[in-house]
Chain A
Amino acid sequence: MTTLQVDGQRVEARAGDSLLEALVRAGLHPTGGGCLCLGGDCPNCLVTVDGVAYTRSCQVGTAAGMKVTRDHLGGEEPALLSDEPMSAGNAAPVRHVHCDTVVIGQGKSGREAAREARDGGLGVVTLDAREGQHVTGVYPGPLVVASDQAGRVLHVHPRREIVIATGAAEIQPVVPGSDLEGLVTARAAAELVAAGIDLGRAVAVGERPAGLPADSLVAHFPVGEGGWELVRFEGDGRVEAVVVRRHGDAGATEERIECDTAILGLGRNPRNALARMASDLPVRVVGSAAAEPQLPSCPREGTVCPCSRVTVADLDGVWERGFHEMELLKRATLAGTGTCQGGVCLPYLRSFLLERGGRLQPAFTARPLNRQLTVRELAAGAHTTVTARSPLHDEHLSLGARMDRAGGWWRPWTYGRKDDEYRSVRERVSLGDVSSLGKMAISGPDAEAFLERIVPTKVATIRPGRCRYVLMLDERAYLLDDGMLCREPDQDAGDRFFLTSTSGGAGFFELWLRDWAEAFGCDVRILNQTASLAAINVTGPQAARLLASAGARELPAFGRHRQVRVAGVDCRVVRLSFTGELSYELHHPAADACKLWRRLLAAGAGFNVQPHGLETLLRLRLEKGHIVIGQDTDYDSTPRRLAHGWAVNLNKGDFVGRQAILRTNKRPLDKRLVALRMEDPPVRQAADPSAEGAAIHDGDRYAGYVTSDAGTAAGGGTPMLGWLYLDAEGSLPHEVTIDGRPARRVDGPTYDPEGERARAAVDIASESPQDLREFPIARPEATDLGAEAPSEPPRLRRLEATRVSATPAALDAVVAEPPWPAGARAFRTAPDELLVAASPDFDVAGDPHAIVERETAFSYVWLDEATAERFLDRECEWRRPSARPAFAQGEIAGIPAKLWFDAGRTLILTPAPFASAFQRRLTRSLEETDGDAA
């Protein structure tokens, strides 16, 4: 015996009772009345169970302590808000099951179908509502989603076929009184009696229920041809009598029989909602689910749709006012839009429309959900998007940074010292983490020709060791992104370039480049080094001195880049400037970022170095009039509208967007992004700290709006950027008002207009390097994956490896005869790319243009086989290879991963920016599946 709480009262359930059986046994009926079917086909047994409303009590078992409210809406006084502390509701656990065939329903034909498939050597999964496996939908994939009794959600992925063997549902009565309690279907009656529940005085109408003792019926009225017709039920809340009618030669005979229970055997219809949902999918419907639906006679009176309480009178009302289509009838009455999704009413709606309109209309579309799971159950297996972390993330946190999501990365917004962050750049020296910039290495015979077609700048004139600011346009000549293009100083191995994008554009960058490279048929190697390389911007008047004191011997001049060892770390040092000050961008292996950062802070202590956050950076660049993609630019920002024509060379041959520039240049210009300056500070209020978005007026004319305003400059005056529409004469006003205050358009930056600070000549010969030995740097050694064993608990570690981009043929040859130490593992991540756990001290013989680079941007973990199965059954949606060893890649726990299935253990690699999220999801998943059988 199990004790439940029903509306606050104790109710005893017998072993094996469904919740509905326990309720009926206790003389309780779910509120709302109606004929009980026990098959999950109607809404008449809905209750609230443990806070989950709209629960079919016939489809759930009983458990000790279960709290049941017979009102299916959730009871009289639902908690207004959750008593629990507000936190992201956790999704239910998911289990992915891959098979050849899934059979839904385990009645006779379902069992046969499963047996046949198994006999044919197929992997079969069966789902049966009686086992608590309720199928919510059949989806493209194909995918079958079902709940199971363990509170998990099953995602079944059949390779070959979905067999639907869901059987038949019984036709419900639609007559006056059909919403009384005490009505059951014939099948339900048999089940209740078998469970030892006394039905009292029972009257059967239609098919005689199986398994009922002969003397248990007060009366039995067969229906159909020459038989009886159900007229109505009488009673007050509960059925007290059944009225039937028979047409004979002498006219109609009506009989009224008193009873405690009315048993309705009115026929069956295929349970075909899943089948109807599954058109276009590899589905086979077997058994009675495949039968042709039979139409009951057109209802005369009563509730047709018990979910939405729609009566025959309602149907007539809308029919008479012109709602004649099945879908219009449904939408106008809401019949068929409740829990049973038309299970009860659909046959009646069809017979109604046939009788009124003389045309048999098809069933309305079957849509998921066939069985309604909860939001937390449906969320099972989903993850929110991961925001990438720079290798310096923890450094920022330890310096008190407030992190903000920007362009898919966590960036330090401010370290809490806004004014000093600003002053450190302008007056001293500062560090900025720009690791999130997109970074691509590009080489190959066609590298220069390819880049000429990609950027509007002349690439041929970028000499080795030089770099240049470049735009990236789409085919409409709208600005996609900007960055810098460096030509490698060393020309021995042919042309090689390094191209950056903004942080926000980094995700798009690689696919965009590869798309065009293929479209142009260019012979290039492309290696995405976005995560591989961290980048620190050392900026401020003392930047060169800081670098010298950190051991840099030579620094590049403005517009150049070179390899420099800084603080013991090999860096590509690029000298351009976004802040307006002397700036060096240090690109270096991600694994070395923390020590470089700490050493630079230590070396700069004498200069009072401070890091600056994104908020300060946005202010610094605004004083220089530099645009920020996405903030200042809009979808239709052509170079002309941005006044960036200087970055476009129309005489160099074709490039993406060139024809569009020529085309649009024939149209008059309508608006331009302009630099503005306001002498009197704008009105600032706590609730409205910026003029961004404020209207710009030219006299009375609305002339545009402000896109950037980051505060008043140290030297006075407030610089802004904004869109200005040309006036009727086609010119741009010089004097405007912003929020009613005067401002003027300026032609260049207000801060250091000649760029002398950024271009300052530098002499570091007199600087002496500091002793930085307290931050030792170990020589990197490649990770020996073969020597590693699964750890407990599993922890991700950074992989020291090499990544190679080369022609497929050259990689084939390299893999056949590896130039790296024996035993080092190599993973072919693409036909033209290789990740190998070895040092980057080898050449790819077959490809002089191969890119071979140290790679430290992956984290790895070994899992033993049982742990891996447990984790991947939950977090890997795709079919895993069965062979060993095998390499595979795809999304795991919502994060891109690479897997190596070795004998007895599995290696998982994930990009370092997502490693902490992966670790969190791995740990949680293993904790939550701890009790699961392997």
Chain B
Amino acid sequence: MNEFVERQMKLTWRPPKKSYDVVIVGAGGHGLATAYYLATRHGMSNVAVFERGYIGGGNSGRNTTIIRANYGIPAAVRFYQRSVDLYRGLEEETDRWLMHQAKGLLWMAHSEAAVRAERMRAKLNTQFGAETEFVGPAQVQELCPQLDMSGGGRWPVLGASYHPQGATARHDRVVWALAEGAMEHGAHVHQNMPVDGLIIDGDRVAGVRTASGDIAAGAVVSAVGGHVSRIAAMAGLRLPIRTHRLQAFVTNHYLQQFGPIVASSELFFYASQTARGEMLLGAEIDPQPSFSYRSSHDFVQDVCRRALCLLPFMSNLRVLRQWTGVCDMSPDYSPIMGHTGVPGFYITTGWGTWGFKAIPAGGEQMAELIATGEVPELIAPFGLDRFARDRTMADRGSAGTH
């Protein structure tokens, strides 16, 4: 018997209606969370989520499931800390096993500049409510006995920032629990139903065009990943977004427990152990824009080489499976949430390589915006207009990593 077979959740599919109060494009984590929080927090259930494939089939099902709040600017620390907090309560709230597990995150420094950066991160995080401390080599080794502290003789670990609330959860289950919760409250989710166009009424977006006909909507929310520029273009918008591939892989089961999540900005990889015991590794995005889901060998080759410097115990583990997602990157490595300037059209994008960890907070805040018409304070800095306002949200704490 496989203890990881999903045995609780129930997904209820209903035929599409001709009109909804809110139509959300994209049934990934963010789209479903928005529907979930609209339904559970604001009593808005005349909501539909349209998905061109299956739910959670984009980046929600292709990420490395890491949850953390140790970002590099105050607004981001606050926002992701909200998400960390919501994630901690999500199993109880939904009464579903999401395999949520706080395991702590170690962000390794191999140079003086990185030591300084990790010390600064720790102070900034603490200031804004995310627990992070800088720890020396002895404590790093204690937290993760498997680490080769000499970094293979070339990448010595001089210290690390330690973020005890760093966690993982099973990505698919998060998606399904939100879908189930939204459906229970009456929201619709429609799979295999791509949005082919937006209905424009004067200066506003008034619905979506699908193979099942036009669907009217009081508000349309783009929560798509990977093709957001195309959806935005339907509303006449150009976005500060480029789409890049992000790859990851898992090994076979590693029999021992690998405690924390470890990351190294200088060796460009991070590793954690899944609930099933696999070692899960990821790295940075491919530098050139691409929409291809094809995995490449050089990715697994380079990450394996770099991982061996710090985690030589992995030498004989077999790599089981690799995969690829495509990420929407904003110029300042921060998400874009809120109004678009086009009435009736909202956007949540720029989720780069940090979308999974933001699912509950992103959904909660977008739902509040749509339900109340007011931009919540937590996401006000992340509006699309920030580029024109000269208020970019450059975040060193998110750049280039998970």
A residues contacting B by CB (< 8 A) are 51-55, 73-74, 78, 80-82, 86-91, 137, 139-141, 143, 145, 155, 280, 308-311, 314, 317-318, 321-325, 327-328, 331-334, 337-339, 341, 365, 367-369, 372-376, 378-384, 404-406, 413, 476, 614-615, 630-631, 634-636, 663-664, 667, 670, 687-688, 690, 692-695, 702, 705, 707
Contact A615/B321 with A323-B6, A323-B11 known, Cβ cut-off 8 Å: no
**B148 within 8 A of partner (CB):** yes
**B1 within 8 A of partner (CB):** yes
How many chain B residues have a CB neighbour from A under 8 Å? Answer: 89
Bound Cα distance from A488 to B314, whole angstroms: 55
**Contact partners of A705 in chain B: CB under 8 A:** 120, 123-124, 127
26 example contacts (A-B, Cβ-Cβ < 8 A) are as follows A53-B318, A55-B318, A82-B315, A86-B148, A87-B148, A88-B153, A88-B309, A143-B297, A317-B7, A328-B54, A333-B2, A334-B5, A369-B321, A372-B318, A373-B318, A374-B316, A375-B308, A375-B318, A379-B301, A379-B305, A384-B154, A476-B331, A667-B390, A690-B116, A692-B123, A705-B127
Q: How far is the CB of A343 from chain B (nearest CB, A)?
A: 13
**Contact partners of B302 in chain A: CB under 8 A:** 382
**Contact call B315/A702, Cβ cutoff below 8 A:** no
Among candidates B4, B10, B294, residue contacting A334 with C-beta atoms closer than 8 Å? B4
Bound Cα distance from A695 to B126, whole angstroms: 10
Question: Which residues in window 125-164 of B have CB below 8 A to A?
Answer: 127, 134, 136, 145-146, 148-155
Extra contacts, 18 of them, besides A53-B252, A327-B57 (Cβ < 8 A), are: A82-B315, A88-B148, A145-B297, A308-B4, A310-B2, A321-B11, A325-B53, A328-B54, A332-B6, A339-B320, A367-B322, A369-B322, A375-B307, A382-B302, A405-B266, A413-B112, A631-B116, A705-B120
CB closest residue in chain A, given B295: A368
Bound Cα distance from A688 to B116, whole angstroms: 10
**Contact partners of B152 in chain A: CB under 8 A:** 87-89
CB closest residue in chain B, given A94: B301
**Contact partners of B391 in chain A: CB under 8 A:** 667, 670
Among candidates B54, B304, B322, residue contacting A382 with C-beta atoms closer than 8 Å? B304
Bound Cα distance from A327 to B56, whole angstroms: 10
**Contact call A52/B6, Cβ cutoff below 8 A:** no
**Contact call A339/B252, Cβ cutoff below 8 A:** yes
Dominant SS at the B interface?
A: loop
**Contact partners of B124 in chain A: CB under 8 A:** 693, 695, 705
Q: How far is the CB of B59 from chain A (nearest CB, A)?
A: 14
**Contact call A693/B121, Cβ cutoff below 8 A:** yes
Inter-chain contact total with CB atoms closer than 8 Å: 245
**Contact partners of A664 in chain B: CB under 8 A:** 390
Q: How far is the CB of B28 from chain A (nearest CB, A)?
A: 13
Q: How far is the CB of B157 from chain A (nearest CB, A)?
A: 12
Contact A338/B134 with A88-B309, A89-B308, A317-B5 known, Cβ cut-off 8 Å: no
Contact A322/B297 with A73-B255, A694-B123 known, Cβ cut-off 8 Å: no
Bound Cα distance from A698 to B156, whole angstroms: 39
**Contact partners of A80 in chain B: CB under 8 A:** 256
Bound Cα distance from A317 to B8, whole angstroms: 9
Bound Cα distance from A254 to B353, whole angstroms: 57
Contact A693/B301 with A89-B308, A413-B112 known, Cβ cut-off 8 Å: no
Bound Cα distance from A321 to B8, whole angstroms: 8
CB closest residue in chain A, given B111: A405
**Contact partners of B333 in chain A: CB under 8 A:** 635
Q: How far is the CB of B269 from chain A (nearest CB, A)?
A: 11
B residues contacting A by CB (< 8 A) are 1-2, 4-7, 9-13, 53-57, 61, 74, 110-113, 116, 119-124, 127, 134, 136, 145-146, 148-155, 172, 176, 191, 251-253, 255-256, 266-267, 276, 293-298, 300-302, 304-309, 312-323, 331-333, 389-392, 394, 396
Q: How far is the CB of A205 from chain B (nearest CB, A)?
A: 26
Dominant SS at the A interface?
A: loop
Q: How far is the CB of A854 from chain B (nearest CB, A)?
A: 33
**Contact call A88/B123, Cβ cutoff below 8 A:** no
Bound Cα distance from A597 to B304, whole angstroms: 40
Contact A378/B309 with A341-B321, A635-B396 known, Cβ cut-off 8 Å: no
CB closest residue in chain A, given B12: A322
Q: How far is the CB of B151 from chain A (nearest CB, A)?
A: 7
**Contact partners of A317 in chain B: CB under 8 A:** 5, 7
CB closest residue in chain A, given B331: A476
**Contact partners of A381 in chain B: CB under 8 A:** 301
Among candidates B61, B294, B305, residue contacting A91 with C-beta atoms closer than 8 Å? B305
**Contact partners of A667 in chain B: CB under 8 A:** 389-391
Bound Cα distance from A381 to B305, whole angstroms: 9
Bound Cα distance from A670 to B391, whole angstroms: 8
CB closest residue in chain A, given B55: A328
Q: How far is the CB of B118 from chain A (nearest CB, A)?
A: 9
- Which 8 residue pairs are nearest across A and B when measured between Cβ atoms? A88-B152, A322-B11, A693-B120, A635-B394, A382-B305, A693-B123, A89-B315, A372-B318
**Contact partners of B331 in chain A: CB under 8 A:** 476
Contact A325/B127 with A375-B319, A693-B122 known, Cβ cut-off 8 Å: no
**Contact partners of A309 in chain B: CB under 8 A:** 1-2
Contact A631/B113 with A322-B12, A374-B315, A636-B394 known, Cβ cut-off 8 Å: yes
**Contact partners of A702 in chain B: CB under 8 A:** 74, 127
**Contact partners of B136 in chain A: CB under 8 A:** 687
**Contact partners of A314 in chain B: CB under 8 A:** 2, 5
Among candidates B13, B172, B312, residue contacting A82 with C-beta atoms closer than 8 Å? B312
**Contact call B318/A374, Cβ cutoff below 8 A:** yes
Q: How far is the CB of B243 from chain A (nearest CB, A)?
A: 17
Bound Cα distance from A614 to B12, whole angstroms: 63
Among candidates A86, A338, A376, A687, residue contacting B304 with C-beta atoms closer than 8 Å? A376
**Contact call A367/B321, Cβ cutoff below 8 A:** yes
